[in-house]
Amino acid sequence: MVLVVVGVIIWNFSTKFQHADRLVKFSEFLQWADSGSVASVTVTGQDITGFTKVGERFHTYAPSQYEGLVNKL
């Protein structure tokens, strides 16, 4: 029983770090988009989250006056 509890605690602790978003500059995100490295994105207001084609999760913020993001993607 103790081993099961310890196993669950270790698993829970390790999965928290696997899902952390990498915070990137908006300009770096645009470079990724231009090069085709972005697999998917979710845009909510100015918040942009997504995955690269190698499975890395990222997060960035669009400038408030930036227009044309949809066209770039």
Residue 33: name the closest of 16, 48, 46 by CA: 48
Whether 58 and 20 have beta carbons less than 8 Å apart is answered as no
Whether 3 and 39 have beta carbons less than 8 Å apart is answered as no
**Cα separation of 56 and 9, whole Å?**
25
User: How does pLDDT run across 9-34, given as a tens digit for each residue?
Assistant: 665 655 555 566 789 999 999 999 99
CATH class of 21-72: alpha beta
**Cα separation of 33 and 70, whole Å?**
11
Span 42-50, mean pLDDT?
91
Residue extents of the structural domains in the chain: 21-72
Which residue is it, tokens 């995955």?
Answer: 51
